[in-house]
Chain A
Amino acid sequence: MARTLTMDGNEAAASSAYRINEVIAIYPITPSSPMGEFSDEWAAKGMKNIWGTVPQVSELQSEGGASGAVHGALQAGALTTTFTASQGLLLMIPNMYKIAGELTAFAMHVSARTVATHALSIFGDHSDVMACRQTGFAMLASGSIQEVHDFACIAHSVTLASRIPFLHFFDGFRTSHEVAKIEILSDDNLRAMMSDDQIKAHRERALTPDHPVLRGTAQNPDAFFQGREAINQFYTACPGHVQATFDAFAKIAGRQYKLFDYVGHPQAERVIVVMGSGAETVHELVDHMVAKGEKIGMVKVRLYRPFVIKDFIAALPKTTTAIAVLDRTKEPGAIGEPLYLDIIAALREAKDQGISTFTKDPIVVGGRFGLSSKEFTSAMAKAVYDNLSSSQPRNHFTVGIIDDVTHLSLPWDPEFHTEPSDVIRGVFFGLGADGTVGANKNSIKIIGEETPNYAQGYFVYDSKKAGTITISHLRFGPRPIRSTYLVTKANFVACHQYVFLDKYDVLSYAVPGGVFLLNAQFEPDKIWDELPREVQQQILDKKLQFYVIDAYDVAKRTGMGGRINTIMQTCFFAISGVLPREEAIEKIKETIRKTYGKKGDAVVQKNYQAVDATLASLYRVKVPEKITAKRSMPPIVSDKAPEFVKNVTAVMQANKGDTLPVSAFPIDGTWPTGTTKWEKRNIALEIPVWDPAICLQCNKCALVCPHATIRPKIYEAAQLNGAPATFKSTDFKSAELKGYKFTVQVAPEDCTGCTLCVVVCPGKDKKNPAHKAINMAPQTLLRETERANYDFFLNIPEFDRTKLKLDVKGAMFLQPLFEYSGACAGCGETPYVKLLTQLFGDRSLIANATGCSSIYGGNLPNTPYAQNRDGRGPAWSNSLFEDNAEFGFGFRLAVDKHAEQACELLAMLSSSIGGELVEALLKADQTEEAGINAQRERVALLKKKLASLKTPEARRLEILADYLVKKSIWIVGGDGWAYDIGYGGLDHVLAMGRNVNVLVLDTEVYSNTGGQQSKATPIGAVAKFAMGGKAIPKKDLGMLAMAYRSVYVARVAFGAKDAQTVKAFQEADSYPGTSIIIAYSHCIAHGYDLAQGCEQQRLAVESGSWPLFRYDPRLAAVGENPLKLDCGAPKVELEKYIYNETRFRMLQTMDPERAKMLLKTAQEETTKRFQYYEQLASLKNQT
């Protein structure tokens, strides 16, 4: 009996691939990153492959780079693999052609993900792999975690036999992140699948100076075509090798696959053809329906390329009359999607060749499903069969959405389901921070690995990074689970956060008679009255068994802090009866020991105590017979919200976006800005409270706030008329603005409670220094009053920006046009973005590289970039990860061209418009806010004048006139983009001298994809792919940029010197050439309480790790040294800075000797670099 384990698809793929390869070159991209991370981790721990050697794992600077390294390793004869998805796969395509053209034995593993079109999506479909059909790679599709594990091995085996490279793919997230119980291939199994002779042949084809050959020639018309055709026999032979490998595998592992696997009635009439995880759901439906006597069947396409007509025809029952081909991709403009076209062509060719066996030619229709992980349920699959039953089946249909525009979608019955009654189905609502997902993964492990039951888990995450909700979907049953869709009919629903009851329809998931477990701070006899009406109604209607626990109380008593995972997990086992209670508790404790044992006994003991304390606090609630609720679930958004927000955004916010029809959506991915303000998330337990008596009016709180939820304003006293009674105000301390009032106001429902503002606040009560000008207080008690205060505050007009001195204090009176984003609580990036929008937001275009900043900047449902009262604000877009500098450069080219044409037209129309106005428009000084404002007024006047002109030139100028007001182009991205994948483009843009401003939000690690090292990672820091601590110092991007001598360069850290930050932004904008600001951004991936973010920034600067400087080429032009160091010589030892952070401290705990060695090198490097900067800054005669 093979060993069984529970794991997700990524681990299943990596587990096979790692053990049968020698070189692994990767680049992180969701959802494939964990495959590379597993490999790196195993290599770092010295885990050997089946030949007793540890594979080389290398992270490259992009997938393009990874594929180049793969190509090289293959050419040099190593058994090589890589893992990728989506845009990453697209970047590999050029090398894929080469690898295939050179008949190279190679297999790669792709967690298939949507390619960005009208929007980016991290979720799964086949649009990426379908873009590789033409490369010459063989394509192998797996649909379950077991198949992923098996096919990962088979792909590497068969590529050696066939010399055709293989792209093995499975569905991103649905399969890559689903956890399931599988049989593990042993090393012996894998060894048996890897032919020594074929490996020898692979080695012998390697480039070596001992037997030199030459590849990669340039060929001409006389040779290329024939050479290309010389490959044909290998493609002809390939499927035979695949089937032979499948057969050999069956003998070893006991699981038999075919090129096309048929499932269903032997005399089926209606057949679905499908690849990937969707095939599992169709399989489940077919089993269900055939048992009821339905003559249906399905074909799972295993080997998609090379496509073998004979085997496909053989797989279909002769009785087949109608075929529906399901494609998980969309090819607009094509006759149909790729698999559909292949099937049509296959049937036609089969007929032409006389190998068709059907009594009557079947009807074939094609349809799309599951784009971007859209749900595909057995009910939807049934709708596809039902369509085939109709007299005129709909072709080119969609299923899973409601298409009310082109009416292509098939209707389905959401109540239909095929899940057997002996499968336990649970849905768990948790917070990211409470550990729900981790606990559920442990439960799956316990049940999957300790009982004969099969287990499946799939986890739905939030689109935000702070206060995130997670929904875990778990199934346990006696047979393999094929339900590759979310649980909608749960017999166990757990809500780990009471507040969710007001936001989500939690109990819609519960089946009648099911269990509802709630974590709430109310006594069992009080809880009923605290539930919203909708919840009470469903508990009564569905006769739910209702349990309650105050898990936070148990957690507090047992020292668990906010982690209620162990407690809620214990409740699940105690109530569900999946395992006998005592046994379950023993298993939970064993898991705790395994998880934390090596790290610390204290944590183990705390968890044990939590388990033991749980049962005594778990109560079954005696449910009354009638509704007693005094309240209903509040509306998702305010009644004042725009129609679009109410009709579309709010539905998505309520987790019901799947119900929105096609007509609800913008046709081209264009969304309104400024909608985060309608989503009141109320995620902070405590919010800041301002004490005007102590406030120094420095506005530092506003500067550091990552979410623009604490704002100062100055206004005339008269504005206070009608203020709510609790609205606070004080005299503004200013010689120039005597009589003005000043308020610092918190947005109570938008604040994340990060406390950065409190920590940075310098105002202390002299009588009680523990009391500052800002102090945290419980949000629930303040919510109502502060909501009214904040509304009032927002309605006070903004102070005239032309009259503000734009230092730190003054700039904070400018309206932030980036607010309430989905960034982490305490984020160190967003204060820079917010500052950018305050200073230039009303005239800026932002090109944003993919990464954290594009996610919190543009991940639906809501958009944080906002508009001012005049309707102006940042225009924002994300193109790709790798091209952002060029993308923003394009903005500049267009904007300059528009402005140039506007000027030309002005000159042309001068006599009609009036020479004086034209002259003023053309020669306007727009260096200051006042000048910009004056120009806006001139443009308004110009437009008025143009309205009366009837010439075509006047019409053209009307459209372009706004470009006479200067625009600020910002190119924003993280270090992954700027230092790694986008560096080539960035370097080019820096060299072009055009007026663009680059903002590098440097967290020194890939934050968005989960902590992989970048070239910005400092020496000694532990990151994924640098598990032993990075050995090479951080790349000095600032120095590289300065080398051009024409680029404005600044290195800033707002927590260390905010005035320098504000100045650098202004100088960058004013510099008429290219500017780059490299901004220290503390990050959750650094591993410390981000409330201390500013303090860490200060230490980074004072230790010399992050020297502050500005390099302004304008100074060189007047004979001054362009480089100004904005910080003193290091005065704090590096270790005082770095060892506050887990990323550095980890190494101390893992390998103290190496930590010491790297610290020594880092300290030396830091000192040397600072001395170098000092020398440069002290040079004279720069002209």
Chain B
Amino acid sequence: MDLSTNYLGFQLPHPLMPGAAPMAGNLDIVKRLEDAGAAAIVMHSLFEEQITMEETNMIHQMEVGSEAYAESLSYFPKPNEYHLGPEEYLELIGHIKKTVSIPVIASLNGVTSSGWVNYAKKIQQAGADALELNVYYLATDPLETCSAVEGRAIEVLQGVKHAVKLPVAIKLSPFYTALTHFGRELDQAGVDGIVIFNRFYQPDIDIEKLTPLPTLALSTSAELRLRLRWLAVLSGRIKASLAVSGGVHTAVDAIKAVMCGAHAVQMVSALLQNGPEYLKVVLDGMKSWLEDHEYNSLKEMQGCMNLQKSANPAAFERANYMKILQGWRS
């Protein structure tokens, strides 16, 4: 069965790959993922903010209290070498490249425009095959407009595209008012792929202590539907390739995503729950399904369920929406 797909310009044997997660920090797991057949490795994000904070904090903590009291003019030795910058991440790219032969997609979350560009360059130098821009951003400022939020992402994309030769994907959150328009703009700005969607860190709250409660819940297949819908909306309308991230747990989930237009299918929670080898289970499941349903190749079904197949997609969507609501009433 030909499951091959093209994602970010890479001809891949199939669309399945791990999504951005700390799994990539462990070379054993990376190797096991390749052995399970992963088409590519997507690394966890390099966070500019974290590096800057760590840097500033470390220097602050080493300086605080120094040169203030005659007996203790400093509290820490002064080593020559620090690795507060992105070195650890960059080195990891090199290690992963040496460990596997599949494409390695690094991920970056920047803050400043110079940070995005500089780190992107470093990631390219470190040997990554592609770059996923993680534009995770919570728009909490009431004075910030949606066009400003979108404009910044486009600027970042243009800056990075200008600075590196790597294929560049952008991973979006679902919270854009006019996602289709935004996708088109990204497409025009030269994005090579759009990954939908980022799963937001969503803290719970502790009602006894009245504090936010940091929690990390794994995804479920239920989260897939939001992604299917937007894959279907974007599919066929933009040149860039599409990837799904969030909610793919089974072969059926993966097939749905591909039918809605995904060129790549990223999995994290399912692999965390079931181990890297689970990727092969999903892959085998896809193969069997396609065989059972007498498809000749994955490409045959890719995008078959996108909204372009509908004459008036907006109306189609709205009609569905009303039908569902009315269904609830009755």
- Are A and B bound to each other? yes
Residues of the B chain whose Cβ atoms lie less than 8 Å from the Cβ of A470: 67-68
Residues of the B chain whose Cβ atoms lie less than 8 Å from the Cβ of A1152: 83, 88
Report if B201 contacts A (CB, 8 A).
no
Contact with B along A30-43 (1 / 0, CB 8 A): 11011001001100
Contact of B71 among A438, A563, A855 (CB under 8 A): A855
**What separation, in Å, do the CA atoms of A1143 and B62 have in the docked complex?**
9
Q: Is the CB of B69 within 8 A of A1087?
A: no
Distance in angstroms from A153 CB to nearest chain B CB is 24
Contact of B75 among A177, A598, A1011, A1145 (CB under 8 A): A1011
Contact of A437 among B67, B71, B76 (CB under 8 A): B67
Report if A634 contacts B (CB, 8 A).
no
How many chain A residues touch B (Cβ–Cβ < 8 Å)?
62
Residues of the B chain whose Cβ atoms lie less than 8 Å from the Cβ of A824: 65
Q: Is the CB of A1142 within 8 A of B61?
A: yes
Report if A944 contacts B (CB, 8 A).
no
**What separation, in Å, do the CA atoms of A122 and B73 have in the docked complex?**
13
Contact of A1142 among B58, B70, B79, B211 (CB under 8 A): B58
**What separation, in Å, do the CA atoms of A1008 and B74 have in the docked complex?**
10
Contact with A along B52-94 (1 / 0, CB 8 A): 1001101111111111111111111111111111001000000
Residues of the B chain whose Cβ atoms lie less than 8 Å from the Cβ of A1023: 76-77
Report if B325 contacts A (CB, 8 A).
no
Contact with B along A658-671 (1 / 0, CB 8 A): 00000000000000
CB-CB under 8 A for A1149 and B67, given A598-B80, A1085-B75:
no
Report if A224 contacts B (CB, 8 A).
no
Q: Is the CB of A1007 within 8 A of B72?
A: yes
Contact of B66 among A30, A438, A601, A1009 (CB under 8 A): A438
**What separation, in Å, do the CA atoms of A561 and B56 have in the docked complex?**
11
Report if A1027 contacts B (CB, 8 A).
yes
Report if B210 contacts A (CB, 8 A).
yes
Q: Is the CB of B68 within 8 A of A461?
A: yes
**What separation, in Å, do the CA atoms of A524 and B178 have in the docked complex?**
51
Instruction: Mark out the residues of chain A between 26 and 84 whose CB falls within 8 Å of any chain B CB in the assembled complex.
Output: 30-31, 33-34, 37, 40-41, 44-45
Q: Is the CB of A435 within 8 A of B67?
A: yes
Report if A433 contacts B (CB, 8 A).
yes
Contact of B78 among A41, A468, A764, A1149 (CB under 8 A): A41
A596 to chain B: closest residue by CB = B59
**What separation, in Å, do the CA atoms of A41 and B79 have in the docked complex?**
7
Contact with B along A163-190 (1 / 0, CB 8 A): 0000000000100010000000000000
**What separation, in Å, do the CA atoms of A435 and B67 have in the docked complex?**
7
Distance in angstroms from A39 CB to nearest chain B CB is 11
Residues of the A chain whose Cβ atoms lie less than 8 Å from the Cβ of B85: 600-601
Residues of the A chain whose Cβ atoms lie less than 8 Å from the Cβ of B80: 45, 598
B210 to chain A: closest residue by CB = A769
**What separation, in Å, do the CA atoms of A436 and B70 have in the docked complex?**
14
Report if A1022 contacts B (CB, 8 A).
yes
**What separation, in Å, do the CA atoms of A464 and B62 have in the docked complex?**
19
Q: Is the CB of B75 within 8 A of A1087?
A: yes
Residues of the B chain whose Cβ atoms lie less than 8 Å from the Cβ of A1010: 71-75
B85 to chain A: closest residue by CB = A600
Q: Is the CB of B84 within 8 A of A1149?
A: yes
Instruction: Mark out the residues of chain A between 1016 and 1059 whose CB falls within 8 Å of any chain B CB in the assembled complex.
Output: 1022-1024, 1027
Report if A1176 contacts B (CB, 8 A).
no
**What separation, in Å, do the CA atoms of A45 and B79 have in the docked complex?**
7
Q: Is the CB of B58 within 8 A of A1149?
A: yes
Report if A250 contacts B (CB, 8 A).
no
B68 to chain A: closest residue by CB = A432
Q: Is the CB of B68 within 8 A of A599?
A: no
Q: Is the CB of A37 within 8 A of B77?
A: yes
CB-CB under 8 A for A44 and B67, given A600-B59, A602-B55:
no
Instruction: Mark out the residues of chain A between 422 and 473 whose CB falls within 8 Å of any chain B CB in the assembled complex.
Output: 431-433, 435-438, 441, 459, 461-462, 464-465, 468, 470
CB-CB under 8 A for A1146 and B58, given A602-B52, A1023-B77:
yes
Contact of A44 among B56, B74, B77 (CB under 8 A): B77
Report if A408 contacts B (CB, 8 A).
no
Report if A603 contacts B (CB, 8 A).
yes
Contact of B76 among A30, A441, A602, A1143 (CB under 8 A): A1143
Q: Is the CB of B76 within 8 A of A1022?
A: yes
Q: Is the CB of A1087 within 8 A of B62?
A: yes
Q: Is the CB of B75 within 8 A of A1084?
A: yes
**What separation, in Å, do the CA atoms of A87 and B71 have in the docked complex?**
15
Instruction: Mark out the residues of chain B between 22 and 62 whose CB falls within 8 Å of any chain A CB in the assembled complex.
Output: 51-52, 55-56, 58-62
Distance in angstroms from B179 CB to nearest chain A CB is 33
Q: Is the CB of B68 within 8 A of A468?
A: yes
Distance in angstroms from B112 CB to nearest chain A CB is 9
Contact with A along B179-196 (1 / 0, CB 8 A): 000000000000000000
**What separation, in Å, do the CA atoms of A436 and B67 have in the docked complex?**
8
Which of A468, A1008, A1146 neighbours the largest number of chain B CB atoms within 10 Å of its CB? A1146
**What separation, in Å, do the CA atoms of A601 and B52 have in the docked complex?**
8
Q: Is the CB of B69 within 8 A of A1088?
A: no
Q: Is the CB of B83 within 8 A of A1150?
A: yes
Report if A766 contacts B (CB, 8 A).
yes
Which of B52, B55, B56, B73 neighbours the largest number of chain A CB atoms within 10 Å of its CB? B73
**What separation, in Å, do the CA atoms of A1027 and B76 have in the docked complex?**
9
**What separation, in Å, do the CA atoms of A1010 and B67 have in the docked complex?**
10
**What separation, in Å, do the CA atoms of A917 and B10 have in the docked complex?**
100
Which of B52, B79, B83 neighbours the largest number of chain A CB atoms within 10 Å of its CB? B79
Q: Is the CB of B61 within 8 A of A603?
A: no
Residues of the B chain whose Cβ atoms lie less than 8 Å from the Cβ of A122: 70-71
Contact of A1008 among B64, B72, B88 (CB under 8 A): B72
Residues of the B chain whose Cβ atoms lie less than 8 Å from the Cβ of A563: 63
CB-CB under 8 A for A1024 and B56, given A599-B82, A1009-B72, A1149-B84:
no
Contact of A432 among B56, B62, B67 (CB under 8 A): B67
Q: Is the CB of B77 within 8 A of A432?
A: no
Residues of the B chain whose Cβ atoms lie less than 8 Å from the Cβ of A465: 65, 68-69
CB-CB under 8 A for A435 and B63, given A122-B71, A599-B82, A1146-B79:
yes
Among all A-B residue pairs, the 7 with the closest Cβ atoms: A432-B68, A600-B55, A1010-B72, A769-B210, A437-B67, A1011-B75, A1087-B61
Additional A-B contact list (6), CB under 8 Å, known A432-B65, A602-B56, A1087-B64: A30-B71, A34-B73, A438-B63, A600-B55, A769-B211, A1011-B72
A-B contact pairs, 19 of them (CB 8 A): A31-B71, A33-B71, A45-B80, A436-B67, A438-B67, A461-B69, A468-B68, A596-B59, A603-B55, A855-B71, A1007-B72, A1009-B72, A1010-B71, A1023-B76, A1084-B64, A1087-B76, A1088-B61, A1142-B58, A1152-B83
**B residues bordering A, Cβ < 8 Å?**
51-52, 55-56, 58-85, 88, 210-211
